[in-house]
Amino acid sequence: MDKTERNEKLELYGRGFALLKAALDQVPAEAMKFKPEPTEWSVHEVIIHIADSESNAALRARKLIVEPGGILMGYDQALWADTLKYHDHNLEDALEVTRLARKTTYELLKRQPEEVFTHAIVHPEMNEPYTFDKWLTIYARHIPGHIEQIQNNVKLWKKI
């Protein structure tokens, strides 16, 4: 990935929380815990997942900066949602975790020298090296991808 593409993805990453908040402003309170299917997540669960995922992403970015060649921790997001009972979590706290994880990581990445973005690490769920470019591609799209899921949930909720 060249510097221009990296900067575009980094800026999308930096806007992620604002995009999420804007999308959540369109979700009726009554739709927050609606599940389109028993095995699918409600908007509430999506928000808690985002907080957990963004916390992990922030740590992964730091590990990529400081310990290239090291090993990341994997996690089973569906198991986390079920075992940690995501519907019991506070939404405002999860949003604050997401806001701070994004803000501090974005600011950290903006200060990094170009060579940091050549770093790679071992991800237990991937066969190839987990590069910083892969990290940025995944997490720049993470919140926008879940915004689509949230909007779809609301659309399905309105049909019932």
Total domains in the fold of the chain: 1
Specify burial of residue 88 (Cβ count, 10 A radius: 0-12, 13-18, 19+).
exposed
Cβ neighbours, 10 Å, residue 127 = 5
CATH of the domain at 24: 1.20.120.450
State pLDDT tens for residues 67-116: 999 999 899 999 999 999 999 999 999 999 999 999 999 999 999 999 99
Strand stretches in the chain, DSSP E = 120-121, 130-131
Q: Quick check: is 74 in a domain?
A: yes
pTM of the model: 0.95
Domain residues for the domain of 96 are 3-32+45-158
CB 51, CB 97: distance < 8 Å: yes
- Percent of the chain scoring above 90 in pLDDT: 94
State pLDDT tens for residues 5-24: 999 999 999 999 999 999 99
